[in-house]
Amino acid sequence: MAEKPLRDRIIDTALHLFEKYGYHGVTVDRIVAESDTSKGGFYHNFKSKDELLYHIHDVFITYALTKAQEAYESCSTPTERLYAIVQSFVKVFHLYKPHITVFYQESTYLKPEYAEPINEKREEFKQIIFRVIREGIEAEEFRPELSVEIAGMSIIGMVNWTYKWYNPDGPLSIEEIAAYFADFILHAVLRTPENPTAARFLLPPAAE
């Protein structure tokens, strides 16, 4: 098996160390030593430990935002869009679990020049969800009494909490967990969950 590129080794090592010791408990020297590189190798890839922390945050937020944008463009109805966004959002917690854990533990240490672009992407992701809910209400696919902001933030908050309990070795796959989330959320927002279009995205009823 080919050895990982140096940049990836540095990121993997930093993720492990930041999770275990915290951002301020880890020096560049320790990252260099445990990733089997040199200071020159580190600074060739990252200007500073701050930029490394920014990259750890940015990679999964960029992925989630890109997938949400793709879902919006490729799907034709609010129900389809919301389903696709929830599916990809949940799967982020499998693909980038260490990154997200470090994000929630260490995001307060991001310097303003790095925090600003991260916050802009988080806001853009949030606004896509708000837009889908608003359009779902206007298209009479979603319940008319919904608050766009409360429904949107509820979805984001509920899925975000996955990082606290998700176990890759648990009894359910990330695809099965995503299906549960999608079913729960769509039942909460759909005007008529029993309609044929929506039924494609819901869990099958339990056998009696």
pLDDT at 82: 97
pLDDT at 4: 79
Residue 138 located in a structural domain = yes
Question: 111: closest CA among 28, 48, 25?
Answer: 48
Same structural domain, 27 and 62: no
pLDDT at 66: 97
Q: What pTM was estimated for this model as a whole?
A: 0.86
Q: What is the mean pLDDT of each run of 10 residues along the chain (208 residues)?
A: 79 91 91 92 93 92 96 95 96 91 85 93 97 97 96 96 91 94 94 76 66
For residue 121, the domain's CATH number is 1.10.357.10
Four-CA torsion 184, 186, 191, 194, nearest 10 degrees: -80
For residue 116, the enclosing domain spans 49-191
Same structural domain, 36 and 93: no
Same structural domain, 124 and 21: no
Count of the separate structural domains present in the chain: 2
Residue 206 located in a structural domain = no
pLDDT at 2: 53
Question: 199: closest CA among 189, 186, 208, 181?
Answer: 186
Q: What is the C-alpha to C-alpha distance for residues 193 and 199, in angstroms, rounded to an integer?
A: 7
For residue 22, the domain's CATH number is 1.10.10.60
